[in-house]
Structures are given as C-alpha cells and as structure tokens.
Structure 1
Amino acid sequence: MFIGHFGAGFGAKAAAPKTSLGTLFLASQFIDLLWPSLLLMGAERVRIAPGITRVTPLDFEYYPISHSLLAVTGWALLFALVYQVITRYPRGAIVAGLLVMSHWFLDLIVHRPDLPLSPGSTIKVGLDLWSSLPGTLVVELFVFAVGVAIYLRQTKAMDRTGKWSLWLLIGFLLVIYLGNLFGPPPPNVSALAWVGQSQWLFILWGYWIDRHRRPLA
C-alpha cells in the first residue's frame, strides 16, 4: 500500500489538530522510510519478480526489522515517546504511535502472506488484496479520499500557498501511485531503495502545507 498510508496521515489531523501534517505523514510512512535504508545496508531483502501479484512486482523476502508486527509495535512506542518528549503533547504522541501501527495493518490487507509476526517467526500473514487490481484501487483510493476529506474539513488555508500546495500534493501523489501501478518494474533493488528515500520529500511537503493552514477545531 502507498497512497492509503498518506490517507491515514491526512485523516489523523482530526484526532491531533496540533500535530503537523508532516509529522503525521512521517508516522504513517515510518516503516516504509526505514525499509529502503535497511535494503541499502543489506539488512533486509526484496526481489523484483514481475507478475508475482497483479499490483506490485516485489517479492518481500526478508524484512523483520521494518515490517514484523513485533518490530512495528516497538517502532510505534519509540516514535510516540520521542514525540512526547519533544512536544509535550500526549494526544499527538498517541495518535502518532497509532499511525505507525496503522501502517502494518493496512499492509496486512494488501500484502501476500509475507508479513512476519516477529523477527525469526516462521508465521507470515497477509490477505493478498494485491492479487486484485480493481480491489486494490477501490480500497486504497477510498482510504486516501476519506483521509483527504477529513483533512479539508479540519483545516483552512490561511493563504493561497495553503490552498494550492495541498492540491498539488494530492495530484502528485495520485500520479505517482498510478505510475507505480501501471509503469514498468524497477530496474534493480538499489534503484528501488533510492526511489523509496524520495518519500522524505512528501514529509517536508506536509510540514510546508501545514504552516499555511490552520486547524478549525
């Protein structure tokens, strides 16, 4: 899942209005930001196997540090703790931690049974929605649309930057999502990992947008 995680970040603004959209994006995508670095270090593995699912050509062979349920729980607690220490905003810390956890459960819906429950576990789970392109499109776009709608209802642009930068981001995310679905597979794992690092742009974009919008609640 890609765009659905950003939908979760958008929607979480209702639960934590004082938390920046950039931080909400960072939490919702945290383990997918961690994963490319682990790939480049050789700590986790993925194989490019076109046709393995209808949606993605990636065979996630080994990623217990970033994507096992136990590890994600630990990352969620750590993220919430760090956020609380920095901001002294308990509500935001709880929401951020839950967003980190939400990534695993949204992935559970779409992944093949390749998500480990813990490092070293032989039990792997996944509901394999990626076997259906129409099903994946419906679910991900629905999550994204609901999240964006919530964010629009919870915030108001303070200037033209706050309005148009948001719509530009929404459009850009949709273009990238459709490009990933219908474009060619990555040429190699290194290229995949470096492209994955580009998601930091969306985190910074979220901070920029939120500086030009104000919460209504």
Structure 2
Amino acid sequence: MIIGHYGLAAAVKAREPSIPLWVLMLATVWMDVVFIPFLAVGVEWIERVPGAPHYGGLTIHADYTHSLVGAALLAVALACPSARKWGARSGLLVGALALSHWFLDVIVHRDDLPLLPGSPGGLPKFGFGLWTMPEAALALEILIFAMGMYAYWRAATNAALAGNVSRCVATRSAFKAIIFGAIVVILDVTGLVS
C-alpha cells in the first residue's frame, strides 16, 4: 500500500489547505521512512514469500516501526513539531495521518503487523493479506489514490475560483500532485516500489 497512502494525504489536503502537501505525504509514509534505517542496520528486515508474485510478495519483519504501539509513537513524534508549526489541529491531523499507515497496511499485509514491538509473549500479528490477490490490492490502492486526487483537485479548483483565479491557474498545484501520483502508480504497477 504505497499509492493508497498518498491518496489519503491528498484527501486530507483537500480539507486542510493550510498544511503543506509534502507534510501530509510524509506523514502517510512516515513509518516506512523510519523503517529504512532499521532495515539498513538489520534490526528489521524483509523476506520474500516463495512463489508469491512480485507485487506484495513480501513478509515484513518490522516489529518496531510497524507495530501498532511503534506506529503510535512515531505518529506522536511527527505530530508534535507539526503542532508547533501549524497549530494543534494540524498536529493532530498529521499524527492521525501517520497512524493511518498501520491501519491501511493491515488491509494488504500478510499477518506480519504486531501490536507491540517485538510481539512479546507470542501476541498475534495482524494482516488481512489482500496482497495475496495482487489485482484486488492494486485496484483498491488506485481507487483510494484516485478518490484522494479528485478531492484535492476539486478543492484546489473551487478555492481558486472563489478567489476569481482562472481554472487553469487553479489546477496547477493539483496537476503537479497528479503527475507525481501517476509516476508512483507506474512505479507501483511495475514493481519498482511495493
């Protein structure tokens, strides 16, 4: 679930124009951003599932960054500076968006998402495994992304028109986001990111 996260960021941007889009996009993938150094030093790792298709054919052993408690702590770590910069409401939204990553991942991941870091005492791990049906998982991601981008484009156009700016000028920033999204979709479909 990569492009689905970005679609959610675009939908939030449509409702909260004061928060920069890059902050919202960062928030949606914050868990993965923090995962990278953990992966680099071997604290967390990725394992390919034998015989699984490339898209979603992974089990992620990310007990710290991708546990529910770890995700909540990472969300707070991102929400605090956001609240200082853009206000308490914005901080809460950025934190909620960061935490949403875990809940969206539960839909597509195999059962590799723990509640607590390290899954002490054999606590269950969660994941509905939509990745085992790549076409359905990709369709869901594209749907979330398209809905978010449409909401963002519509909000940008309406705001600009209310300010007597031409529709062409109004859609410029939304168009940039759509181009970025199209690149991410292409990378996701070709398996270069997943």
TM-score by length of 1: 0.76
% identical equivalent positions: 31
Pairing of 1:59-78 with structure 2 (within 5 A): 59-60=59-60, 62-78=61-77
2:22 aligned residue:
22
Cα separation, 1, equivalents of 2:40 and 2:171: 39
Paired residue total: 181
1:108-123 equivalences in 2 (<5 Å): 108-121=106-119, 122=122, 123=124
The residue aligned with 2:84 is 85
Q: Which amino acid aligns with 1:79?
A: L
**CA contact under 8 A between 2:71 and 2:99: conserved in structure 1?**
yes
Change (3 A) 1:146 1:44: same
For residue 169 of structure 1, what is the aligned residue in structure 2? 180
How big is the shift at 1:165? 2.6
For 1:5 and 1:110, the matched residues in 2 are separated by 12
Matched, 1:145 2:146: yes
Q: CA RMSD in A?
A: 2.2
Q: CA deviation at 1:163?
A: 5.5
- How far apart, in 2, do the equivalents of 1:161 and 1:154 lie? 12
Does the CA contact (< 8 Å) of 2:31 and 2:98 recur in 1? yes
SS at match of 2:75: helix
One-letter amino acid of the counterpart of residue 35, structure 2: W
Separation of aligned partners in 1, 2:47 and 2:189: 21
Q: Give 1:30-69 correspondences, 5 Å limit.
A: 30-52=30-52, 55-60=55-60, 62-69=61-68
Deviations 1:139-196 (A, max 9, x none): 111111111011111114747853653332122111111111xx7xxxxxxxxxxx89
Cα pair distance change 1:16/1:56, threshold 3 Å: same
Distance in 1 (CA, whole Å) between partners of 2:174 and 2:146 is: 17
Q: CA deviation at 1:137?
A: 2.1
Which structure 2 segments of 5+ residues have no match?
158-167
Q: Which has the higher contact order (CA 8 A, sep 6+)?
A: 1
Structure 1 runs not aligned, ≥5 long: 184-194, 197-217
Matched, 1:135 2:133: no
Structure 2 length as normaliser, TM-score? 0.84
- Kindly state the Cα deviation for residue 53 of structure 1 after the two structures are TM-superposed: 5.7
* Residue 95 (1) aligns with residue 93 (2): yes
Q: Is the 1:16–1:91 Cα contact (8 Å) retained in structure 2?
A: no
8 Å contact from structure 2 (residues 4, 141) kept in 1? yes
